A and B are shown apart, each in its own frame.
Chain A
Amino acid sequence: MNPLTDMLLVFLILTTFKLLASGRLRACVRAVAAQGVALGLLTLAMHQGALSLHIVTLACGSMALKGLVFPWVLSRALREAKVQREVEPYVSYTLSILSGLVALSVSLWIGSRLHLPPESFSKLVFPSALFTVLAGLFVIVARRTAVMQVLGFLVLENGIYTFGVGRVGDMPFLVELGVLLDLFVAVFVMGITIYHINREFDHIDTDRLDSLKG
């Protein structure tokens, strides 16, 4: 086991808990940004053999995108929308933390039950990836503000990415780039959407969009 890899995976878990526990949108954006940077480092830490140009480009690209561009787009949306915090989430924060703990235990249990090919990096890859995916989904359904839902989506993608890096190792360059591009477009569009929702309705609570249904 590689201690650096383990440390990065535990950091992934902790930042995900931060997202579950906090309603301060700016702090959450920062936590997800830190998570993105940690994932970039994880890509490098998990790579075996000599560093190729491809892997370095990929890691730096994802770090720049997740650590700088996304936080910038989202902070801008927050500034325009003038919201500071999630006021009344559907699921309270303490309950969210406890749900996160349950999700983590379940992920570890499934990880120990699945007959995955022998691990080369860390036993934590699968559990932390699954936990991050579950927590991302949870945040998407349990929070009202559009920004938190975008963050949930990003965390969800981070989980899938972790699994991909840890399990598959060398994904084709084109696939990785395609995923990053999709993500970029998604967050960009969501940032613009948040701005427009806010301008139209003076808030970014997505539940009130329900009343638009005919």
Chain B
Amino acid sequence: MNLLSFLVPVFALAFAPLLGGVINRTKAFVAGRVGPPVLQAYYDLARLLRKGAVYSRTTSWVFRAGPVVGLAAVLAATALVPFGGFSAPLAFNGDLVLLAYLFGLMRFFTVIAAMDTGSSFEGMGASREVTFALLAEPALFLGLAAIARKTQSLSLSTMFPDAWLSSGIVLALIAAALMVIVLAENSRIPVDDPDTHLELTMIHEVMVLDHSGPDFAFILYGAALKLWVLSALVVGIALPHSGNLWADTSAALAAMFVLAVLVGVVESCMARLRLVRVPRLLAGAGVLAALALLLVFEGF
């Protein structure tokens, strides 16, 4: 194992909240506003960490465990996805399955913590989150399976450097499918609106309404890391690798922020889909990924 590969989680830990800042600035720019500072997420985290937490008497230890386990799961995930020229510190055959289910674990604990409050409102959000995650998972796995089959490897760290050598059509299909997954999993617009609370259609924000102080900071940081890891997945697949360590890494860093700008642009020009339309969007992403897999089977 390369000692430098420990830079991968360090990048994630340091820059993850910045992605959200870039998205917000892009949205503000398109709307003609100044917008919050790019570093706003860091200020928010620092502020929340200084505060105390309030716990409802109806909640149990599950409610307190939710944010901690969620953050722990996503921290583990940052160690699995290679970034730029670096391979991931944790790389073994089948780590792509672990990656998907670490997010599954994070979601599970967020959901049961939400259910633990006994609020019907949070239960509603939890039910939606799980439904959409169920539909997003096939697309993620089909896309990863297509690359795994193409590169004949089951580890993300060996998959990515070769991925871009496959046919352009396949890559474009997978990147498009994963982009939808990034938007859906991180509760961004067409699927969920991250800007508003307390609306009957919210998904992620609804589930974390009762968390406060450091717990909420954990949740925000976990969400930022999740966005970073999933974006790193898209960037790792779509970006060509030159073989030069530092060139690849700086290109990947730049690509991450380009992706954030792209997300901001998508959010500025699209409205949130009606809830009944979301499964169709996710099924569409699944079709793109499945088509990529079928093409790989055909020898593309």
Contacts and interface: CB of A to CB of B under 8 A. Distances in A.
Interface of A: 3, 6-7, 10, 13-14, 17, 21, 93-94, 97-98, 100-101, 104-105, 108, 112, 123-124, 127
Main SS of the interface on chain A? helix
Contacts of B94: none
B118 interface: no
Given A3-B168, A10-B169, A10-B295, A17 B284 contact: yes
A40 to B, nearest CB: 20
A98 B283 contact: yes
Given A7-B168, A94-B283, 5 more contacts: A6-B169, A7-B169, A10-B291, A13-B291, A108-B294
Interface of B: 167-169, 173, 279-280, 283-284, 286-288, 290-291, 294-295, 297-300
Contacts, number: 48
A104 B291 contact: yes
B101 to A, nearest CB: 24
A101 B177 CA distance: 15
A172 to B, nearest CB: 31
A108 B90 CA distance: 37
- Ranked 10 nearest A-B pairs via Cβ: A97-B283, A94-B283, A10-B169, A93-B280, A94-B279, A94-B280, A101-B290, A17-B287, A108-B294, A123-B298
Given A94-B279, A123-B298, A100 B169 contact: no
Contacts of A6: 167, 169, 300
A190 to B, nearest CB: 27
A101 B280 contact: no
Contacts of A3: 167-169
Contact of A97 (B284, B294, B300): B284
17 contacts: A3-B168, A3-B169, A6-B169, A7-B169, A10-B295, A13-B291, A17-B287, A21-B283, A94-B280, A94-B283, A97-B280, A97-B283, A101-B287, A101-B290, A108-B297, A123-B298, A124-B298
Nearest to A6: B169
Contacts of B283: 21, 94, 97-98
Contacts of B290: 101, 104
A97 B287 CA distance: 8
A21 B281 CA distance: 9
A98 B290 CA distance: 11
Nearest to B300: A6
A101 B279 CA distance: 15
Contacts of A97: 280, 283-284, 286-287
A82 B117 CA distance: 49
A93 B298 CA distance: 27
B171 to A, nearest CB: 12
Nearest to A93: B280
Contacts of B173: 10
B283 to A, nearest CB: 5
Contacts of B279: 94
Contact of B284 (A21, A108, A123): A21
